[in-house]
Amino acid sequence: MIDINSVLVVIEPNQLQQPALSRGIDLVNKTGAKLMVLLSVYHPSYDMTTMMSSSEREEFRAEYISDQYQALSELIETYDLPSQTVTAINWHKRVYDSIVETAKDEQADIIIKSTKHHDVVTSLVFTPLDWHLMRKSPIPVLLVKHNEWPSYDDILTAVNTGDEDKSHTDLNEKLTTTAEDFAKLFSSNLYLVNAYPHIPLPLAKSSPAFTFNSLNVAIRNHHKQAMNNFGLRHRIQHANLYVKEGLPEQVIPNVASNINADLLIIGSGSTGSLNGFTLGNTAEHIMNNIKCDVLTIKPDGFVSPKH
């Protein structure tokens, strides 16, 4: 479940259109949350210690921030901002750390940032900053496209209902209750998808009591029954439950495309070591083929990795 009381919107520098700000305003209007607009800036000239004295560097930084603040003020004047909107400019060499630290300090419940859309391949193009945020932020991150604000008619959530590991079952609950909250806000249709792997041939051969086909049917039935039970408990229509054999990076984008999903909600990390991260392998492959907005959620107990 996500209780939205504070929304942090990340401004894209040097861009007239700010889709993240439009999404943030709409979300604030629906929830009554407070809005903070953040621009994080840095200029490499500040590191030229051999070219400028300490006082000259500080003067340069102050002038640069002043110019950026003026530009930010002119930009946000074109939007119908909620009352008591807070604006801030942070000077930080690592933009993603600046965003995460500000979100923690302001007790933000969600970070919203726009991402690029590649017209040729009709998919999203995530920047290094996007990936850093998705990897490091313990706070949910909503990455939005450069187009009109979608109504979020159809929301797809990726779950792993065939695995009884507690970390997976807990994350399933967190993802689904978050999806339910968004579905209530936007009067959305809610869908769930679970991808399960192909059976390795050596495993089939090592099970003399089963033929390959019977083993395949047994595994498929296991995943379908687990999804049906999960969907029933959350009162999600049976027709909105998808259980597909295959790799998640293939199954999830295909289902999202077939139902014309406006939003994909996905888990983006683990509580274990950095090597245990979902993001960086499977989740990255999934999102490379996604055309809709993406909301990434961390499991409870997630600790942001160090630099």
The secondary structure element, H or E, covering residue 284 is: helix 282-288
**CATH architecture assigned to 1-115:** 3-Layer(aba) Sandwich (3.40)
Q: Indicate whether 272 pLDDT > 50.
A: no
Instruction: Record the tokens describing residue 28, joined without a space.
Output: 């604030």
Distance CA 252, CA 306 (A): 30
Which positions ≥6 away from 288 have C-beta within 8 Å?
A: 123, 124, 126, 249
**CATH architecture assigned to 150-307:** 3-Layer(aba) Sandwich (3.40)
The conformation of residue 210, written as its DSSP 8-state character, comes to S
The angle subtended at Cα 20 by Cα 14 and Cα 26, nearest 5°, is: 140
How are beta strands 141-144 and 293-297 bridged, if at all? antiparallel
Q: Could you tell me the pLDDT band of residue 273, with boundaries at 50, 70 and 90?
A: very low
First to last CA, the chain: 29
CATH topology agreement for domains 1-115 and 150-307 = yes
CB 20 within 8 A of CB 10: yes
CB 305 within 8 A of CB 136: yes
Q: Indicate whether 277 pLDDT > 50.
A: no
pTM of the full predicted structure?
A: 0.87
| Polymer length in residues for the chain | 307
The angle subtended at Cα 274 by Cα 270 and Cα 277, nearest 5°, is: 40
Tell me the average pLDDT across 37-62. Answer: 80
Q: Could you tell me the pLDDT band of residue 306, with boundaries at 50, 70 and 90?
A: low
Q: Which amino acid is at 57?
A: R
Distance CA 74, CA 39 (A): 13
What's residue 29's pLDDT?
Answer: 92
Distance CA 5, CA 259 (A): 30
The conformation of residue 139, written as its DSSP 8-state character, comes to S
Higher-pLDDT residue of 219, 149: 219
The conformation of residue 282, written as its DSSP 8-state character, comes to H
Q: Where are the domains of the chain?
A: 1-115, 150-307
Dump pLDDT digits (tens) for 173-191. Answer: 999 999 999 999 999 999 9
